[in-house]
Structure 1
């Protein structure tokens, strides 16, 4: 890279772990030294945001599903910009309902499902996406700090689309992982810090809709062995919490498929992951507590236009996990909470249908109740409630 200064950190001969340069500096945090990470935690209370911390140190993380920008959504964004007397597009009003949840956590992670185009277009939707980059700026404005980028649509616009999307994320100040500019960057570990903990994010996608990436390292694949190896390196670099992220599943399903369960269980069995979650199916999937570790199989859509054929497409799940450190220094989930959501139109907005109705009525009282019931029945179908997962009532928190 022109005029770029690079730093390489080698660990046991396994290759490049971290690289920073003038162009790619925001795609990965600079890792702490292994020597520093092995020191005992400082006994200073750091409860973090969210529910009352049951231990000395806590960190809360909010995750949401696919940011799937179809034509009607960018038409809405253009109308919202015009109404505000602004040029171009703004997706902030569409996402605004998420702000209250995001602000009640130490870290919020979105999923940028599709490549972005140039600010003025041309844009395209399914099957080959190229969406307004203003969606990235809006995610940052709402409070997200990072986005995953590996999906079956990542290479819809080839390598150029991947680079354009990473440039937009960098310009907005959002950290990212899942797709990369260089082979060296693909070996980096994304480490994000809260006041109490260092969090690593490791993602993989099941495929690319039959397309083949120009370079094998361009997008992270859903490979449990590779993800486990990367998680082990993240631990060695000082990660307290490691999140495994799967972009996989059967579209519009209400249960995980064999691949999702096999990969998720393998990640947990490795002992390297603190929590696993996923997206892709455009439907909410169950939450499972497997051997004491939470697996959120599918968050549904973070945003999307309304489907007249698949009602589950219009629904989503926001999940907040509070992690706490025990006396032995290990981090586990001490509270797992979920909030059901639905997309509404005229105007298009993300809207929470949680029992406390933080945004008021979304579609209608009856429709909201149906969405809530449908989401809850799926979320709890693998024993989540009995294991302690509960609804997130944001208005009840201080």
Structure 2
């Protein structure tokens, strides 16, 4: 039977190469999400049954960030992402953590400690290649249910997939699964440790997924049945701590034991190491404990360092394996003008200006040693000159 499948696959590939080439109209679709959201296929390998997934850290829109984005008519965040957009567009699926709720101007924009961001940040992320955002974090309830519903309505309007915070119970019950043209399906789940003490509105637990093991177990089991690969975003850990704490390790191991394929961590706002964990069934789970900030208005040096974390999903028979993890560090550049943050840009760290990072080679080496300390084989992406 396996030999027959191998011959069938071989002749299918030969026929595909001879008879057709990929069309811009090919789609990745999400059949288990509201409105059957579809997103355009990006650069992938059409010969091997393989796709690339990318993940980035916190999109943390302080008031100084949206003020710099204001061009006199609208909030234009796209220039802030120009130098990384082509990188983010290449993977089949790119996921970001939308740290600040995107409730829009009508309810009043705000920065720390109770954030509310313009809708235009969603447009910029989508333009830069982001396909799905995680919304479960400690700032989700900053501006109440209205901001959450506004954000979700806008994501639906532009066709951006979201998870971790939902419109209603029915919306929450729909596991987000992206189906790809390579016949590889990926489920995304998102949970947070808490809400900064803000109570979840009565009888509306769907507004935010908390880290509750029973719920995670139930939803991971459903996701494993629906998709080839399950990726879980966990908002956990201690802010500013460059190493994961015991709770992060235990929760990640719990996810591995459930058969989760990858854990993407957020909240510390700094990079933490990446490693493989082994689940109780002998499975391998890829864990990035914290991807740091991708775009934020934080001034501290390590808070300005994030990265693009990539890995391949490779289909081998009936299994899809996580392979070839790699990391490209990024840096938030900005200038100061009378105490105002201007010219905010996310750039590959190796391209950072000398006036932004002194001794760049030493800093890159230190970051590489830090992130790879538990996975020396982690590929360190280097951009062509």
TM-score range, shorter chain: 0.7 to 0.9
Partners in 2 of 1:261 and 1:159 — Cα distance?
A: 32
Instruction: Note the C-alpha offset of 1:245.
Output: 0.9
Q: Does 1:244 align with 2:254?
A: no
Q: 1:297 maps to what in 2?
A: 289
Q: 1:325 maps to what in 2?
A: 315
The answer as to whether partners of 1:62 and 1:319 remain within 8 angstroms in 2 is yes
The answer as to whether partners of 2:306 and 2:330 remain within 8 angstroms in 1 is yes
Partners in 1 of 2:161 and 2:200 — Cα distance?
A: 22
Instruction: Note the C-alpha offset of 1:370.
Output: 4.6
Calculate the aligned-residue CA RMSD, in Å: 2.3
- Pick the structure with more strand per residue: 2
Please list, as runs of the form range in 1=range in 2, the aligned pairs for 1:113-132 lying within 5 A after superposition. Answer: 113-119=99-105, 122-132=108-118
Partners in 1 of 2:297 and 2:253 — Cα distance?
A: 33
The answer as to whether partners of 2:313 and 2:322 remain within 8 angstroms in 1 is yes
Q: 1:44 maps to what in 2?
A: none
Instruction: Note the C-alpha offset of 1:103.
Output: 1.9
Partners in 1 of 2:158 and 2:232 — Cα distance?
A: 24
Q: 2:265 maps to what in 1?
A: 278
Change in 2 beyond 3 A, CA 1:121/1:25: same
Q: Does 1:287 align with 2:277?
A: no
The answer as to whether partners of 1:64 and 1:319 remain within 8 angstroms in 2 is yes
Instruction: Note the C-alpha offset of 1:145.
Output: 1.1
What per-residue deviation string (whole Å, max 9, x for no partner) do you get for residues 157-191 of structure 1? 11111101111212222111100111121111001
Instruction: Note the C-alpha offset of 1:151.
Output: 0.5
Change in 2 beyond 3 A, CA 1:154/1:389: same
State TM-score, norm by structure 2.
0.82
Instruction: Note the C-alpha offset of 1:49.
Output: 4.5
Q: 2:245 maps to what in 1?
A: 257
Please list, as runs of the form range in 1=range in 2, the aligned pairs for 1:363-382 lying within 5 A after superposition. Answer: 363-364=355-356, 366-381=358-373
Partners in 2 of 1:340 and 1:110 — Cα distance?
A: 15
Q: 1:193 maps to what in 2?
A: 179
State TM-score, norm by structure 1.
0.79
Change in 2 beyond 3 A, CA 1:219/1:121: closer
The answer as to whether partners of 1:151 and 1:205 remain within 8 angstroms in 2 is yes
Q: 2:347 maps to what in 1?
A: 351
Aligned residues: 338
Partners in 1 of 2:195 and 2:354 — Cα distance?
A: 34
Q: 1:95 maps to what in 2?
A: 81
Q: 1:39 maps to what in 2?
A: none
The answer as to whether partners of 2:103 and 2:146 remain within 8 angstroms in 1 is no
The answer for unaligned runs of 5 or more in structure 1 is 1-17, 30-47
Please list, as runs of the form range in 1=range in 2, the aligned pairs for 1:140-155 lying within 5 A after superposition. Answer: 140-155=126-141
Bigger shift: 66-75 or 362-371?
362-371
> Which of 369, 372, 375 is matched with 1:384 structurally?
375
Please list, as runs of the form range in 1=range in 2, the aligned pairs for 1:42-81 lying within 5 A after superposition. Answer: 49=43, 56-78=48-70, 81=71
